[in-house]
A and B are shown apart, each in its own frame.
Chain A
Amino acid sequence: MADKALGILDEDEELSLLETLDHVLDRGLVIAGEVTIAVADIDLIYLGLNLLLGSVESVNRTLGTRERRMELLSAGARRGGETRVAVETDEGAGDSAAEG
């Protein structure tokens, strides 16, 4: 992330990664369609027209509760036969919830 020309803060690498994660995962332009991100060769996140991706707090904010989220994920998996998973990053602690 550090860019000396702009004077970007060259802080601790972990902090930079977490900040980067926080910025690029659920913000920015989105092309209507599909974006699929894989973690460890497993389809973990499926982004379609109904975006479902973000930090723990983003997901909670969007869907309200874990139960509601898992219910939607299950319904999505049944509909599309896709593995849909919300990757959770509680301030970088790589927590994930999977639904097969």
Chain B
Amino acid sequence: MKFYVYCLSDELSGESVEGPTGVGGAAVRLVSVGGADSVVAVLSEFAGERVPLTRENLLAHNRVNAHVLARATPLPFRFGTLADAARLSAYVAANETALAEGFALVRGCVEMGVKVRLDEGAKAGVETSAVNVEAVSDEAAGVGRGTAFLLAKRREILGGEALKARAEEAAARVAACVGGVARESDVRLSPEGPIVVRASHLVAREDVADYRARARDLGAGLAGMHVLASGPWPPYSFSTFSPV
């Protein structure tokens, strides 16, 4: 029989997870999967070979993990993880050390997140401010197609560098503002995208309120950018390692 697997925990042994329904409306339960620290898996029965990527299933996946998070900090699985009991036990046995390190890392913490979105107007301003547009236009006037192409490329490169610098500046502000209360950070930059900074932080539960306050201050201090703070989340961003 296959199970939909939500997360692993080394703190829920002997407990139950009554409450939320899982993917497909299935009942959620705990199953011991071994390991030196009495690791349990939170799972539900699943009929089928593929998990439909639907709104309901996505929310069910996170609903169960959030329910577990209210009691203890689990190591959540990626959406769509199916396994039978033997496979799950083999996975836990083969990755015992990495899982133990993972449990130790996230214990007592939750994941908080900050995203920084660059306003479209501000983005255009960054791109053009890096280049003297009039000078480029003057340069381009009356030149051949090859020269015009190279001038356009130069403008593109300079604009890209300016966007990258802006994203790095925003990331530095994020680190300075909310990074101080984070045990671990996972920061991803996308200078060209609408979301220039995606930062996930592992934060001690008692520091969540402080994190939120700092995130509000961050939002107030970044001109031309919007800041979206979210959480607490199960530590999805800190449950990633290369499995054996």
Q: Which residues of A contact B (CB under 8 A)?
A: 1, 3, 5-9, 11, 16-17, 19-33, 35-41, 43-45, 47, 57, 61, 87, 91
**Is B116 part of the contact surface with A, judged by Cβ < 8 Å?**
no
B231 CB contacts on chain A under 8 angstroms: 8-9
Knowing A3-B69, A7-B208, A37-B53, the reply to whether A17 touches B58 (Cβ < 8 A) is: yes
Knowing A24-B79, A31-B83, the reply to whether A36 touches B240 (Cβ < 8 A) is: no
A5 CB contacts on chain B under 8 angstroms: 70
B contact residues, total (Cβ < 8 Å) = 52
A57 CB contacts on chain B under 8 angstroms: 188, 190, 193, 195
Give 1 or 0 for each of B65-95: 1 = CB within 8 Å of chain A CB. Answer: 0110110000111111111000110010000
Knowing A8-B231, A57-B193, the reply to whether A35 touches B80 (Cβ < 8 A) is: yes
Instruction: Tell me which of B52, B83, B236, B237 has the highest count of chain A C-beta atoms within 10 A of its own C-beta.
Output: B236
Would you give the shortest CB distance from A94 to chain B, in whole angstroms? 10
Q: Is A1 a contact of B8 with CB atoms below 8 Å?
A: no
Would you give the shortest CB distance from A6 to chain B, in whole angstroms? 5
The residue that B243 contacts in the complex, of A21, A31, A61, with Cβ under 8 A, is: A31
Q: Which residue of A lies closest to B66 (CB)?
A: A3
**Is B59 part of the contact surface with A, judged by Cβ < 8 Å?**
yes
**Is B50 part of the contact surface with A, judged by Cβ < 8 Å?**
yes
B195 CB contacts on chain A under 8 angstroms: 57, 91
Would you give the shortest CB distance from A21 to chain B, in whole angstroms? 6
Q: How far is the CA of A19 from the CA of B79 in the complex (A)?
A: 13
Instruction: Tell me which of A8, A21, A25 has the highest count of chain B C-beta atoms within 10 A of its own C-beta.
Output: A8
